[in-house]
A = this chain, B = another copy of it.
Amino acid sequence: MNLLKDAYLKTRNRTVEICQPLTVEDYIPQPVDFVSPPKWHLAHTTWFFEEMILKKFITDFKPFHPDFSFLFNSYYNTVGTRVFRADRGNITRPGVQEVYAYRTFVDASMVQLLSTLNTLELKELVELGINHEQQHQELLVTDFKYILGHNPIFPVYKENGALINDKNAEFGWHTIQEGVYEVGYAGEDFHFDNEINSHKTYVQECDISLALVTNGEFMEFIEDGGYQQFNFWLDDGWTWLKENEISAPMYWHKINGTWFYFTLEGLIPIERDAILSHCSFYEANAFAAWKGMRLPTEFEWEVAADHLNWGSRWEWTNSAYLPYPKFSIAPGAVGEYNGKFMVNQMVLRGGSVATPQGHTRKTYRNFFQPHYQWQFSGIRLVKDKDA
């Protein structure tokens, strides 16, 4: 159990570390409904431990504050009325300091609990809480990047060592052989309910790229009029592009004829050989069509994963987010975690520069609606064998 306590504390401290360069003001805004205030992430991840673990395992547990259970719930309809998602930006109080006090209080209670109790049920819930917090660590980064990146003065998060764009280490193609493969999580360690049950699937022969698409390649697509030609686009993608006047990935700005992009180190000229980030599924799909190729399915990706570098971008697949065989929703609030989102979303595989170390794995299924650009999302191409 000491290992679990260590893992708990390491994760909790990492969240605080990520926030260290933020000002108090940075913690507050919810600029659009899908971006949550950093303060909310800090509180909500804490709420998860208090609500799902401390209230359950500690007799007569006295919560930090009676209102917090209500204020920092997210989607969990099972646990009482929740604050409308779009109103999170309005909650100025409790303030940042009080939320940190809330973290300290819950951490102390958790450490106490983990020092005294050692059951499988507790272990599993703590692991879920840790993984939940890791997911929010990534959202924290993408969300404050959104906040800073939509400020007309483009503030810098951190001068050096921030999450900057990296480059491909390998090139060429890996061939996937046709046949039946086992996919899905089959181990004993932590995993989400959406990646079991391990099951057989049939995969067709194809070549999958070892490198991800770069900024330079994507620039060629733009310069070739990619955003002006409907035939590269899915119909919904074309509508999205027209209605939102999209003409580049998020954070790209053309200033006096030169492309710049906003990074966590500020606004800088685009590097052509850095890996592309912040594209939507629609853009990924259109780029692939323009190349005469396609995106991988999530199973092609998983089958090839051992041959790929991955972990710098969430890679859009052409698989819709759907349940695996015999998927079932756990009873209670924990069951609301994944299953209810299994429509109208596309699967992303891999992981990104913003994903906490050790959080992802090759069976991990991330998912977003196809128009979202604000994650560190990129493109890996596939060629059919005799297409």
Binding site for B on A (CB under 8 A): 23-31, 39, 67, 70-71, 75, 77-78, 83, 87, 89-96, 147-148, 150-153, 155, 180, 199-202, 204, 230-231, 233-238, 281-282, 285, 289, 294, 318-320, 322-323, 325-326, 328-329, 335-336, 340-344, 346, 370, 384, 386-387
Contacts and interface: CB of A to CB of B under 8 A. Distances in A.
Contacts of A30: 89
A31 B200 CA distance: 47
Contacts of A234: 340-343
Given A147-B92, A202-B202, A343-B237, A77 B23 contact: no
Contacts of A384: 325-326
A281 B344 CA distance: 12
Nearest to A200: B202
A187 to B, nearest CB: 20
Q: How many copies does the complex hold?
A: 4
A155 B67 CA distance: 12
Contacts of A93: 23, 25-26, 148, 151, 153, 155
Nearest to A28: B28
A202 B201 contact: yes
A21 B168 CA distance: 53
Contact of A370 (B281, B335, B336, B344): B344
A231 B91 contact: no
Nearest to A68: B153
The residue in A238, A318, A320 that gathers the most chain B C-beta atoms within 10 A of its C-beta is A320
Contacts of A95: 23-25
Contacts of A326: 204, 384, 386-387
Given A89-B89, A231-B78, A326-B204, A25 B96 contact: yes
Given A370-B343, A387-B326, A150 B87 contact: yes
A107 to B, nearest CB: 22
Nearest to A32: B90
Contacts of A83: 152
A29 B92 contact: yes
B77 A151 contact: no
A31 B89 contact: yes
A75 B231 CA distance: 12
A25 B28 contact: yes
29 contacts: A23-B93, A24-B24, A24-B96, A25-B95, A29-B92, A67-B152, A70-B152, A71-B152, A71-B153, A77-B231, A78-B231, A83-B152, A90-B147, A90-B150, A91-B152, A93-B153, A94-B153, A199-B202, A199-B204, A202-B202, A204-B326, A231-B329, A234-B341, A235-B340, A285-B343, A294-B323, A328-B387, A343-B346, A344-B344
The residue in A93, A147, A387 that gathers the most chain B C-beta atoms within 10 A of its C-beta is A93
